[in-house]
């Protein structure tokens, strides 16, 4: 594990933590396992809620209207639902992504 940006909180032992996001009302939480070339939707989509994507294994590519964001293990990215987007595996091995749907701020 890359310990960069991880800290040991007060009163913890042999424990490293990293805050990935700290705001917003959750709608739901999902986990996805994307095989090589897996992801979706095939066409970028929009919706009223936002997505917080967290990669727990592998590497994901978030396709946005005008840019691509690559997330490595233990990284997160907030996608505004109104921006056309999709999420894809970016490596030749399985990638695991946690997706949290959030109400817009």
At residue 4, the pLDDT reads: 63
Instruction: Record the pTM.
Output: 0.84
CATH H superfamily, domain 26-102: Jelly Rolls (2.60.120.10)
Query: Which residues contact residue 56 at a Cβ distance below 8 angstroms, ignoring those fewer than 6 apart?
Result: 31, 73, 74, 96, 97, 98
Q: What is the pLDDT of residues 50-72, one digit of tens each?
A: 999 999 999 999 999 999 999 99
Question: Which residue(s) pair with 14 in the sheet?
Answer: none
Domain limits, the chain: 26-102
Q: Does pLDDT of 105 surpass 90?
A: no
Tell me which residue has tokens 């009163």: 11
Confidence of residue 5 (pLDDT cuts 50, 70, 90): confident
């Amino acid at each position: 594990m890359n310990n960069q940006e991880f800290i040991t909180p007060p009163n913890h032992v042999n424990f490293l933590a990293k805050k990935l996001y700290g705001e917003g009302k959750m709608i739901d939480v999902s986990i996805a396992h994307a095989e090589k070339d897996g992801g979706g939707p095939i066409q970028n989509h929009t919706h009223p809620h936002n997505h917080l994507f967290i990669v727990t294994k592998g590497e994901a590519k978030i396709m946005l209207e005008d840019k691509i964001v690559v997330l490595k293990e233990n990284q997160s990215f907030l996608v505004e639902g109104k921006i056309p987007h999709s999420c894809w595996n970016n490596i030749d091995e399985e990638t695991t992504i946690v997706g949290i749907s959030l109400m817009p701020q």
